[in-house]
Structure 1
Amino acid sequence: MTTRMSSVWTWGVLLAILGRVDAADALTATARQILDAAGVKGGLIVHLGCGDGKLTAALRASDSFLVHGLDPDAKNVETARAHIRSLGLYGKVSVDQLRGNHLPYADNLVNLLVCEYARERVSESEMTRVLAPGGVALSVNPKSKIPNPKSVKPRPEGVDEWTHFLHDASGNPVAHDRVVGPPRHLQWTSDPPYTRSHEHTPSVAAVVSTDGRLFYIADEAPVSSMLRSAQWHLVARDAYNGVLLWKRPIAQWWPHICGWTQGPRQLQRKLVAVGKRVYVTLGFHAPLSALDAATGETLRVYDQTHGTEEVVWHKGTLLLVVRSVTPERVAELDKWVQLSKEKKSPLHSRETIEPLLKQFRGIEGKAEMAVLALEADTGRMLWKKAGADVDGLRPVSLRAIGDRVLLQKAQNVVSLDLKTGKEQWTAACAAPLRVVGDRAVVCADGKTVAAFSTETGEALWTQKPLLSDVRDAFLIRGSLWLGGFKPYSTGRQKHTGPAWGPYFVTQHDLATGAVLKEINPENPSHHHRCYANKATDRYIVGGRRGTEFIDIQTGEVFWHSWARGVCQYGVMPCNGLLYCPPHACGCYVTTKLSGFNALAGQRSEVRGQTSETGRLERGPAFSGISKLKSQISETGDWATYRHDAARSGATRSAVPVKLKAAWQTALSGNLTPPTVAGGKVFVASVDEHRVCALDADSGKAGWDFTAGGRVDSPPTVFGEQALFGCRDGH
């Protein structure tokens, strides 16, 4: 009898397990059917009407997704949260209560909106508002879970991409983007809050964007010490919400312990993204690779491209500057890698690094150079220029427009046929090549501004600039705009020089060079940032103090001292947003934004004031709170971050000199500093949206609470209340 009952029980357990497996497989299949129907491979998914959360969790088919469920029923929310937490997914998948008919998202944020029975609560216009350009909305049959035909939000007119370091193949750093404007909203923010060092190689380079995605190269090593080896990666994020899509390691890059202005500008040109493809060198000496923009998968490694240091894509053709990889180059880079690990390295001092840097550059300069043209899709070489044809090739001078390629070698600008490489014309000019347009090629420095016909190379005009230091050249709406500085002195040795003075802008007739307009902003003190500026068809986006939007029509300047770019690269205006990479600058530290930020201009729709009615939500414990006066002991408790409102970081409690572990409790996630009061330890798991209470004497779990978003601070204990803030607005 016992044996028979045991067998029945065993079969029952097995069938129950198999039933759960079948149910899980069915949910996985349903989620895959939805994702395939939507054609979305990463980003932010919103599940509207998430119910028990099981399909919500299944929609996170890979690490490229962040999933948020909404449901009007509070009981469903609790059930869904419990299920997701049981899978260890909470944070990457989360759920909140849908209140009213307004979706709690910024404009243009969501990649996929999956609608079930809560659809009738939210209007089509509201769903369209939150969808990112190219984002998909589809409804799901609540019984069969079969997705209905999808709707796709089109990319708005007047919004541009930024595919190259200087916008596109022409090197004209101007986005044809009418939506980018002075920042008024934070679209998204991501880590790291700041980069490794203000004095050394910038930790972010080569930011580009195409097809709703953002790509950049970053050193993700800890900021704790520059002696830590660099950890360079190619990183891909969604351009509209910042969700991490994928990243690829980069084996070796420019030495990270080197002066912040001493790295080659060509580093910014080793990454290009166009449509569904990313073209990049996954190492300082590496060949060029083509990657799938959605997944990061390698599609092709191009032959004869080891040592590629500049990449331009134009009309299906890859134009490359390649420096031969010699044994001397490899050995020298390896030497710098080893020197960067030494505690007393000559790389740490400007005086001792100079001869090493001179030697490094000398070895680089001895390597042979070549310019290659390849078919992007096949890798077939179209033509190659080497030897005398590229002697004196200037960095970052390779450009393309129409059916021609332009470059500058020594004191000559050369035009080549895009398909054959045949020389079309040569024009003598000592000033550096700055910008290329359909009508004119412009060279400029503090001594000369010269324009040549793009078609024939004929000199159009030459003049002495009004500026002693030309920082920028832009072709905007048929005019040439120059930005830079005039001589400036404070009468002291310190804080004297053009970059400490105002940033001036002049507009020139492209055909004649005649000055059409001058914009003379005030001098805000400090110096111009250590990067070139960008522009749109409406604004010059300057870096004089932070990020200044200079209206080219009115001359008005909109100052934003709290937003700035990373050294040597700057900011990027495209997709209707202003992208500000993280940096290590400490200027205006009390007001500056930290992290990688995407900023939006003024929204077209201005929402009315939020009603105060109903904003206070009374939970089940509200009526039980009686002690509104804090009972915290001044000597025994640590009830708020850094102990008290003065942030003293000090306590009167006696602490033994020799410490020993009393208890240890494992908690998952990114934890806040703890607070202690009333015999309990309080700590928050930031990314898991969770606040936990532990017994102070034993470490045993007391209670935990799941909030509606990321917890932004350690709990503060006041009376019988544990108070904290979270990113859902509460």
Structure 2
Amino acid sequence: MKEILHSGAPTAGWCVDLGCGDGALACALAEQTSLTICAVDPDRSNVDTARRRLREAGLLGTRVTVHHTPLDGRHLPPRFADLVVSGRSVTEGADVVTRDAVTRLLHPFVGKAWVGQAGAMPTITAPDLSGAGQWTHQYADAANTNCSADTLLHGPLGALWFKDFGFTMPNRHGRGPAPLFTQGRLIVEGRDALRCVDAYNGRVLWEYALPGILAANDQDHIMGVSGTGSNVCVDQSRVYIRRPHDCLCLDLETGVLLRAIPAPPPTPGAEPGTWGFLACVNNTLFGTLADTAHTVEFRYIRGDMSSQFTESRMVFAVDSETGREKWRYTPKHSVRNNTIAIGNGRLYCIDRAQAPFDRLDPDYKELRGQRDVRPFPPGVLVALDTSTGREIWRNDEAIWGTLLALSTEHNVLVMTYQNTSFKLRSELGGRMAAFNTTTGKRTWDIEASYKSRPMLTGKTIYAQPGAWDLVTGKTKPFAFSRAYGCGTVSACKTMLLFRSGTLGFVDLTGNYGTENYGGFRPGCWINAIPAGGLVLIPDATDRCRCSYLIKASLALMPYGVRAPRLHPATAAVSGPLDITVDTEADADQARYTLDGSDPTEEAALYEKPVRVTTTSTLKVRTFRHGAPPSAVAIGTFVIDPAIVPIDGDNWAVHDAPGRSNTSRWEIANGTATETSNFYIGEAKDRDWRTERPGTYRVYTPGEVCKDGELTVELSSSDNDGLGIVLRWQAPDRYLLWAMDAERSFHILAMKDGKTYEILDVAEVGYKANQWYRLKATLRGNAVAVTIDGKEDVSATDVKLPEGTFGFYSWGSTGAKFRGAAWRPANK
């Protein structure tokens, strides 16, 4: 033991004694250090002896636990141990345990091991964690990519550690700063302190008291860092935290205060200004002096907005070592904090007049009925040299955006709006552009529907719900949906993270769709970050009354076996169907059932396609040696002679005229999905009487749908309009049934040339991501619609006698339709 400690072994943290023998080494380490020790031995007599020794020393169960398990250590989590030793190796030699077993357990940044006999005990360090990304700023980096370089993450996910820190966090509706990660350390800012946690085992490393530092975020205003930017960032060795008039520099390893850097005075000889934006790149701190007169409207319940500063009157740079001011830039108008992006030796920002209609109206009491969203004068895009502040170029041609993100890899600067939930009125959305960072010239400018901040990785821009080519602006074949979550999306190269009721994620390494890790509620902006090969999620539910079971901080890691893939995943067809099953690895076994029960190792072994001849539910699970079984893959297959094929050439798309872009219908797994957010009209209009032309996917061949029953299932991940058209004769002659969640209506309407008439209405909405079964019964002049077997709307004076049917979407990104069946009345 002396040799281990004299060699520089850690004396605090987690230790594994892999092959503990009689427990003597574990006992001695516990007595002379602050280590928490997991002792392991496959020999029952050794385990009993070790437990007896530790119990007599008063250490068993408090400082040391003894596990009767194999020496491969696979019952323990990977990468969590600060120290690995082996009591038996001291007497039996280093071959008692394998190097792979040791390195699997070692913390990738600080872990060390000493295994072997005295005098022959070399230091073993963890292998480099190649592919582990960092998250050093609010949006991953100073470039605002909102995407870490991590390539280690993939699904499925499982818990590495969880812990209730008893650390007071601000109200999640106050949108506090994102957690940060660097060098194996997780930085979490609470209401009254900054805390550093070991990202791989949850151990608190240090805490720095900052009374009231996030008091302004401890409210219900839903502004916070979404408008102000974060007040904390990190580099490889220091943590910077902005206060109103200065910035503290803390040592990353110890939490010791190194220096306080005052904000520059707005004019020579004046008092320090109010520090706004914060970033650190290459030993330079970048900041702004906030415009304290520009106080924006609260976006939710009324809150104190007096320190929620979203605009700045000056941009500056200071030396992070000395605090010496290097340069300052004074815009003609104002710089919105969200438009500052830094990388490749340049700082980019937009100098633009403020939006006066964003400002706080002291007489305004509620969010609904707010003043109209409107454009405001464009600005100037400016590129500054980060060393000198010298202006390199400027572009004043149609600079309409409110957010910038930079790809340093491809020298592309992306301009968008921050079109998210509870946005400022000036965040118009619907447009995206890019500029060449060398020349400042615009390379593309497109209409684009998105509801999150952009995420830049490689040559792809992700933004809910789609993806675009970074270089060309062209739409990429990608879409994802989520349940409700007012926060934005964070990303790494292999995964998207977001709130989807609970934690939702999209694994970009394959086509798995939206997955969930349930049981807890992430915060209302960026609460989960992908970095270090982990998903790191500090608890954001402090004082939250939402009924979620888990109220703790979590670290998730890739864990387990992926569920098998069914082809097709689901279907509604008119005749027998063969379903094939794919597993992740050739050695995996897939076992299935058709009786509704979950498959066990005794269930039928998949060896050839499964044929279903009647409506069936197929459940399949993967089994792999040495791993827990996968989740169950479930496919519902409807066999019905009346089913209309959802794909093929028998469908035509009609987009209402008036927009430059077109709709985007995608067909997969027996489901038609509209992903473009296509609509004509005003989104702010809530009147159910208003005609809302959209996009229509119409069934063209076969018999005329005159009298009979149409059944179809429909769902949307959005909250706007979707429905069906009946007796369609032309783009201006049809019946329309539609539902809208945001405006709370179901309608039955008739379009006849220039006439649009509401025949019936029900003032109800729908729930996002819930499937509804619609049945429309047509008999002469009478039409009746039921939803899930309950009466919805009807009419008895319909003037259109016949026509075909189709699907309808109005601004409903993720509107889905499946299982359409037509049953003529005479059959």
TM-score, with length taken from structure 2: 0.55
Answering whether residue 458 of structure 2 is matched by residue 462 of structure 1, we say no
**8 Å contact 1:433–1:443 — kept in the other structure?**
yes
Residue 497 of structure 2, aligned match among 498, 516, 541: 541
Greater relative contact order structure (CA < 8 Å, 6+ sep): 1
Q: How big is the shift at 1:434? A: 3.3
Of 428-437 and 448-457, the range deviating more from structure 2: 428-437
Q: Which amino acid aligns with 1:421?
A: G
Q: How big is the shift at 1:294? A: 1.7
| Matched residue SS, 1:56 | helix
Q: Which has the higher helix share?
A: 1
Deviations 1:45-75 (A, max 9, x none): 23443416543224535xxx54444563422
**8 Å contact 1:160–1:574 — kept in the other structure?**
yes
Answering whether residue 349 of structure 2 is matched by residue 407 of structure 1, we say yes
Alignment of structure 1 residues 40-439 onto 2, 5 Å? 40=10, 43-48=13-18, 49=20, 50-51=23-24, 53-58=26-31, 60-61=33-34, 66-70=36-40, 72-85=46-59, 91=62, 93-103=63-73, 104-118=75-89, 120-139=95-114, 148-192=121-165, 200-201=173-174, 205-219=177-191, 232-255=192-215, 257-265=218-226, 269-281=230-242, 284-285=243-244, 287-304=246-263, 307-323=274-290, 353=302, 357=304, 360=306, 369-385=313-329, 388-389=330-331, 391-410=333-352, 411-428=379-396, 429-438=399-408, 439=411
**8 Å contact 2:498–2:528 — kept in the other structure?**
no
Give the aligned partner of residue 599 of structure 1: 556
Deviations 1:361-398 (A, max 9, x none): 59x689x743221233343332123xx42741102332
Q: Which amino acid aligns with 1:162?
A: W
Distance (Å, rounded) in 2 between the aligned partners of 1:583 and 1:32: 39
Identity of aligned residues (%): 20
Deviations 1:256-307 (A, max 9, x none): 55215133436652211222222223xx425222222121112222244664
* 1:508/1:141 CA distance change after superposition, 3 Å: closer
* 1:84/1:121 CA distance change after superposition, 3 Å: farther
Distance (Å, rounded) in 2 between the aligned partners of 1:147 and 1:190: 38
Deviations 1:561-617 (A, max 9, x none): 515522222310111111222233979946x54311111113699973599xxxxxx
Q: How big is the shift at 1:407? A: 1.8
Q: What residue ranges of structure 2 are gaps of 5+ in the alignment?
A: 265-271, 353-378, 418-428, 562-584, 586-622, 629-827
Answering whether residue 433 of structure 2 is matched by residue 450 of structure 1, we say yes
| Matched residue SS, 1:569 | coil
Answering whether residue 657 of structure 2 is matched by residue 608 of structure 1, we say no
**8 Å contact 1:289–1:300 — kept in the other structure?**
yes
Distance (Å, rounded) in 2 between the aligned partners of 1:433 and 1:199: 23
Distance (Å, rounded) in 2 between the aligned partners of 1:365 and 1:536: 27
Q: Which amino acid aligns with 1:126?
A: A
* 1:603/1:110 CA distance change after superposition, 3 Å: farther
Q: How big is the shift at 1:106? A: 0.8
Give the aligned partner of residue 720 of structure 1: none
**8 Å contact 1:206–1:267 — kept in the other structure?**
no
**8 Å contact 2:50–2:66 — kept in the other structure?**
no
Residue 530 of structure 2, aligned match among 569, 573, 579: 573
Q: How big is the shift at 1:42? A: 5.3
* 1:304/1:263 CA distance change after superposition, 3 Å: closer
Distance (Å, rounded) in 2 between the aligned partners of 1:99 and 1:427: 66
Deviations 1:61-111 (A, max 9, x none): 5xxx544445634223322243244xxx963x2231454323241112112
* 1:98/1:136 CA distance change after superposition, 3 Å: farther
| Matched residue SS, 1:285 | coil
Of 559-568 and 188-197, the range deviating more from structure 2: 188-197
Q: What residue ranges of structure 1 are gaps of 5+ in the alignment?
A: 1-26, 220-231, 333-346, 484-503, 612-730
Give the aligned partner of residue 530 of structure 1: 486
**8 Å contact 1:53–1:79 — kept in the other structure?**
no
Deviations 1:9-38 (A, max 9, x none): xxxxxxxxxxxxxxxxxx8x877524x3x4
Q: Which amino acid aligns with 2:230?
A: R
Distance (Å, rounded) in 2 between the aligned partners of 1:449 and 1:52: 62
Q: Which amino acid aligns with 1:44?
A: W
Give the aligned partner of residue 335 of structure 1: none
* 1:233/1:198 CA distance change after superposition, 3 Å: closer
| Matched residue SS, 2:234 | strand
* 1:32/1:187 CA distance change after superposition, 3 Å: same
* 1:199/1:433 CA distance change after superposition, 3 Å: closer
Distance (Å, rounded) in 2 between the aligned partners of 1:577 and 1:595: 16
| Matched residue SS, 2:153 | coil
* 1:207/1:365 CA distance change after superposition, 3 Å: closer
TM-score, with length taken from structure 1: 0.61
Q: Which amino acid aligns with 1:137?
A: K
| Matched residue SS, 1:186 | strand
Distance (Å, rounded) in 1 between the aligned partners of 2:187 and 2:347: 25
**8 Å contact 2:169–2:189 — kept in the other structure?**
no
Distance (Å, rounded) in 2 between the aligned partners of 1:207 and 1:268: 13
Distance (Å, rounded) in 2 between the aligned partners of 1:549 and 1:135: 29
Deviations 1:529-585 (A, max 9, x none): 121101222333343433333355765413205155222223101111112222339
**8 Å contact 2:497–2:529 — kept in the other structure?**
no
* 1:262/1:168 CA distance change after superposition, 3 Å: closer
* 1:257/1:218 CA distance change after superposition, 3 Å: closer
Deviations 1:232-269 (A, max 9, x none): 21111111111111111112224355215133436652
